Structure 1
Amino acid sequence: MTRPPFDPFTNEDIAVVSAQLGRPARNVVGIAARCICGAPTVVATAPRLADGTPFPTLYYLCHPAATAAISQLEATQVMNEYNQLLSDDEGVRAAYRAAHESFLADRAVLGDVPEVAGISSGGMPERVKCLHALAAHSLAAGPGVNPIGDLALARCTWTPAVCECMDYSAADSVTE
């Protein structure tokens, strides 16, 4: 099995993610996508948290500007449109199922958690439930893997090609 598409993290990365989230980052196992400036945009999270809780969401969108833009997109009820697209388009449906399988394979490398077996995130493979998770998967896996995540990223007001990071120099104040 191949390694999931994420980089090792540094203490500085964890401090930045904690500042981005406004709380200590939990159980980060890697940085799955970065801003063009190098700041974390998506973290990879362990499938079982330190307290024993199963956590199916491997890819977690942490970049504040990306999160805000995806939240604005969700507020437009676009998920209804994407769910209809899944219903109507066999090609999109097949690609979305493949994205689900890709996600599960990435997470399996980190260990077996029976409580979340077969569960990915964002509603995959049957429906669109959380664009944040789907966009995070698209950013981590790259274009062409998650069709709904790709559509959301193309339609939101944020782009990974433009840095919208704040100054994280005080990030050390929000760590575990």
Structure 2
Amino acid sequence: MTTPPFAPPTTAEIDVVSAQLGRSARGVVGIAARCVCGNPTVVATSPRLPDGSPFPTFYYLTHPAATAAMSTLEATQVMPELASLLDEDEDVSAAYQAAHEAYIADRAHFGDVPEIDGISAGGMPVRVKCLHALAGHALAAGPGVNPIGDAALARSSWSPQRCECEKPGAATA
């Protein structure tokens, strides 16, 4: 097992994430995916927040345009369609199980939290619950790791290859 491929966040990166979220970022251990301009798109969050709360969502989608696109998909009832893939396609189901296991393994590098043992995010490994979490994982892990996250990104109006940051050019250092 290797450590996920990101360095601890800089103060400037935390400032960008906080602005994206409209609140102070909590427990960020790294920037797991970036916009083409360099701004954070997905953060990796400690499995235990600074206040001691367990936090299972290791890969957290922060980019406002990406989160809006996932919200739009959820509002248009795409989740049942994606969930049906788990029942209809054994390969998708197996890949989703593997994505769940990879997610937990990535998070384990940052601590063992018994309260969330075996829990990943987004409904993995048996259902589709949150496209934001699944897209965040797909962006952080790269194409081909999370089939439902990949499918959500493919169906969305947002693309990681196109900058839609509110302040283009305000890339982090």
TM-score, scaled to structure 1: 0.94
The residue type paired with residue 89 of structure 1 is D
Distance 1:32 1:50 in 2: 19
8 Å CA contact retained: 1:19, 1:168:
no
What is the aligned residue count? 170
8 Å CA contact retained: 2:65, 2:164:
yes
Matched, 1:164 2:164: yes
* Residue deviations 1:30-74 (CA, integer Å, cap 9, x gap): 000000000000000000011111000000000000000111011
- What is the match of residue 37 of structure 1? 37
Distance 1:169 1:5 in 2: 24
Structure 1 unaligned residues grouped into runs of 5+: 171-176
- What is the match of residue 109 of structure 2? 109
The SS at the match of 2:129 is: coil
CA shift, 1:7, in A, is 3.4
- What is the match of residue 146 of structure 1? 146
Matched, 1:46 2:46: yes
Matched, 1:85 2:85: yes
CA shift, 1:166, in A, is 1.3
8 Å CA contact retained: 1:14, 1:25:
yes
**1 or 2 for the larger relative contact order (CA 8 Å, sep ≥6)?**
1
Matched, 1:24 2:24: yes
CA shift, 1:82, in A, is 1.0
Moved beyond 4 Å, runs of 4+: none
* Residue deviations 1:121-164 (CA, integer Å, cap 9, x gap): 00000100000000000000000000000000011000000000
8 Å CA contact retained: 1:6, 1:140:
no
The residue type paired with residue 73 of structure 2 is L
8 Å CA contact retained: 2:27, 2:50:
yes
- What is the match of residue 120 of structure 1? 120
8 Å CA contact retained: 1:45, 1:59:
yes
Distance 1:23 1:157 in 2: 25
Distance 1:36 1:55 in 2: 28
Paired-residue identity, %: 72
- What is the match of residue 4 of structure 1? 4
Distance 1:161 1:7 in 2: 22
